[in-house]
A and B are shown apart, each in its own frame.
Chain A
Amino acid sequence: MSTNIIDRLRAAVLALLLTVAFAAPALAGPFEDAVAKFANDDFSDTAAAVEAVAASGNPLALPIISALQEGRLVADPGSKKVFVKQADGKIIDAATGAAVDKLPDGVADVRLNNRLRRAVEAALGSLTLLSPDPARRIAAAQSVFKSHDANALPVVEEALAKETNRSAKAAFTEARAAILLFKPDVSEADKLDAIAVVKAKGDQEAMALLTSLGPDQPPLIKTAVAGAISSIQSDLAMWSMVQNAWYGISLGSVLLLAAIGLAITFGVMGVINMAHGEMVMIGAYTTFVVQEVIRTRYPGLFDVSLLIAVPLAFVVAGAIGVAIERGIIRFLYGRPLETLLATWGLSLVLQQAVRTAFGPTNREVGNPSWMSGAFELGQITITYNRLWILVFTLAVFGILLAMLRYTALGLEMRAVTQNRRMAASMGIATSRVDALTFGLGSGIAGIAGVALSQIDNVSPNLGQSYIIDSFMVVVFGGVGNLWGTLVGAFTLGIANKFLEPVAGAVLGKIAILVLIILFIQKRPRGLFALKGRAVEA
């Protein structure tokens, strides 16, 4: 009952305050005095004004200070009046909140310097600490953590006391610890607790906070800080390894996806298809067309656009693949160098055809909602699209392996590649199997294009950027062996990402190319080389 009365009282006081603030312009109080200081065009006056306004608890404080941060706060030096230009173009008097028709002549922006900008950020942080939106509270707590402004301590403690959201609570605890750590008159035990909290946070910011603490500390604190820093450092090093490994796996999955089709056409059939990249590109453009149709006709289906695009891309690219095999490649069996040249020419034609049909610029392919966004795992961020591509790649790989192993077509394919004449004698229509195998490889390249359209620019040159990498993967892994392709793709992906921080992106890539060239010298047939008679075939 009593709390109820207090609540009511508080509401009444608030209402009164609001009425005062909005309806009584003549009444000059500490808030109005503080606001008037903005008009002095003096940095230290502005700093005092920021502090006073932030501490006033006036509902106008937040709009004023955010206006100051965004350069929307103007002042008239003559009348000492201050105005807020709102984002929607309306103008209000900063001291009263009353709407103003137009700015008086002679107003000037309230200027900021770097010191003030920090003060403004800190003030904004403590102002939004009590916001009803948990995300904003967390953001505010994080900015307090960075500024560790002692003035914010009462607000932080108040917010912490009534916080119910778990992650907001953690953020407030960390913010409080940061403040205590820097506050002079705090007991050593409290400081040690604070260090423990910051250490548990364990990220770059915690590290920066601890290193900025300075050397002149009591010995106990000093050792605790040093211990926390080294523990965070080793943690961070570990996480950066994990991060690199994840990036490497992600790159490896992209490489694998681009190379699986090639592993079929080049690895199993021995056909050099330089137009393989263009099959990937055609898959990506199929996705684009599917999404265009969905956008204009059935907008509700957008989230399943990729599920529709995958089989379509497989069929489109596969059909083109069969046509290529029937029209060009079958005349060139046993002449690999000529095949290479003819398919290169074909890749030029396909690229130019797509450029003529869709234009030379990048086409927009959207991410469905279940593929956008990211989640945090410890200190690393994992985006959903990369994760889905990894899953998709492994699924495609598994299905392909199973297909080669358990279906009739897979059996025929293996028979034809192992011994064509024997297979023909057994009644297998070898030329039909050739066409289907090539179509399968191309179709897989097409569905790779669906996935790659989610992370890369869909342009006529999309395929070219993957062709050299894909060949490297297949050659490195060993021709004629799908597992080799898998291992090759992930090895190259991870090696690339671990070299990148050391050598830079381009030099890392060059180093990988040189390493592969040297590796081929050592093992001319790749990691998992075929042995026996198949080698000379």
Chain B
Amino acid sequence: MQHILTRSLDRAATTFILVVAGLGILISLSNILLPAGSFFQVPTYLVALFGKYVCYAILALSIDLIWGYCGILSLGHGAFFALGGYAMGMYLMRQIGSRGVYGNPILPDFMVFLNYPKLPWYWHGFDMFWFAALMVLLVPGLLAFCFGWLAFRSRVTGVYLSIITQAMTYALLLAFFRNDFGFGGNNGLTDFKDILGFNVQADGTRVALFLLSCFSLILAFLICRAVVTSKLGKLLIAIRDAESRTRFLGYRVESYKLFVFTLSACMAGVAGALYVPQVGIINPSEFAPGNSIEAVIWVAVGGRGTLTGAALGAVVVNYAKTYFTSGPLAPYWLFMLGALFILVTLLLPKGIVGTFNAWWEPWKAQRISDADESAAREDGIEPKPNPAE
């Protein structure tokens, strides 16, 4: 354990964790301690907005884990995110109890409205938080496991996999739009009141959820980091770069892919579960294929194959989205998003962080070797001739 931790924590990773933790604590403290209206006070709506970005960052990490390190481009990761969100939404719906519009202690409002005689079987147990939390992991994980087991075993790869993951999220979109599917149809789940006995709307709860999201982001980052720096991570990269060769070397490629795909889906589910109480609604449009593709572009912008890049990309793109869609530039947002897709793939294939690293690493290496040389000279030892020169 000690071994994994130290190896996975290089300087960039430590910086990332410190920045996330620091910003999280700073924003929370400023919201709670400073008086409302003060220049430095972060208003609660912004805290919820940042919380949303952090959830997107977790989703981006989960996509980067499979796309950046294993070459699996899933265009259906929004589905796992939304499933986690629905599991949390079901818990929150059950917590409303008799405070709904129709005052039914068991049935959520939409079920009363649609004349459900009793609670559907799959809604049982969601009044308990631990059960819902378990489902947040299990449902996306199980779907990913079944889907991946079928797909990877029969060697559906590359673009084919991307297209059928898109078909999967599209099928779920159509299903969740149906009223008789039992998840609120078009309107989804909303009007939440309590989470674990705390008011969802209260400032304190919002800050707590935000902090929890930051904590989850750090945890997800550590897990991804542990995976990609381990031997397993090397194998994943081998699969990404030469799948057939890895298979011929005797590795069960599909098992590794299945593991990492399922892990990634669970992470996406957790992101969705944290997202729902902060946004206050979950509806079928979260399954829209466009959402999943947009999440992929966050990773591409930040830098595929760099975990910090994925998280950074999610925050940057979503901040830009908020900024542009709320201003007079709103009609141009889709132009910009589209242009972002094109320009990043054409001109910045490594993303922000990847490009930065490509520029920074040689310079850093040079500086280190310079430092070594001067140290060696001080010790009176001649530097070894570089064989490359």
Chain A interfacial positions (CB closer than 8 Å to B): 272, 328, 331-332, 336-342, 344-353, 356, 468, 471-472, 475, 506-507, 509-510, 513-514, 516-518, 520-522, 524
Contacts and interface: CB of A to CB of B under 8 A. Distances in A.
9 contacts: A337-B73, A345-B337, A345-B342, A348-B335, A468-B289, A514-B171, A520-B151, A520-B156, A521-B151
A356 B335 CA distance: 10
B237 interface: no
B132 interface: no
Nearest to B155: A524
B162 A349 contact: no
Contact of A517 (B153, B167, B341): B167
Give the 3 A-B residue pairs with the shortest CB-CB distance, closest first.
Answer: A345-B341, A348-B338, A349-B338
B229 to A, nearest CB: 24
Contact of A524 (B160, B166, B300): B160
Interface stretch (B85-93, B174-182, B360-368, B378-386): B174-182
Contacts, number: 117
Given A349-B338, A352-B331, A510-B171, A342 B166 contact: no
Contact of A341 (B163, B168, B297): B297
Nearest to B296: A341
Nearest to A504: B178
A103 to B, nearest CB: 46
A242 to B, nearest CB: 28
Contacts of B25: none
Given A341-B296, A342-B342, A509-B174, A348 B150 contact: no
B83 to A, nearest CB: 16
A340 B159 contact: yes
A342 B345 contact: yes
Q: Which residue of B73, B164, B170, B296 has the most chain A CB atoms within 10 A of its CB atom?
A: B164
B297 A345 contact: yes
Given A337-B159, A507-B178, A509-B171, 7 more contacts: A342-B342, A345-B337, A345-B342, A346-B341, A348-B341, A352-B334, A521-B150
B349 A338 contact: yes
A332 B178 contact: no
Q: Which residue of A339, A509, A520 has the most chain B CB atoms within 10 A of its CB atom?
A: A520
A506 B345 contact: no
Contacts of B46: none
B249 interface: no
A521 B154 contact: yes
Contacts of B339: 345, 349
Q: Which residue of A353, A356, A510, A514 has the most chain B CB atoms within 10 A of its CB atom?
A: A510
A347 B338 contact: yes
B35 interface: no
B195 interface: no
Contact of A340 (B147, B151, B162): B162
B337 A337 contact: no
A517 B158 contact: no
Contacts of B151: 520-521
A351 B333 CA distance: 12
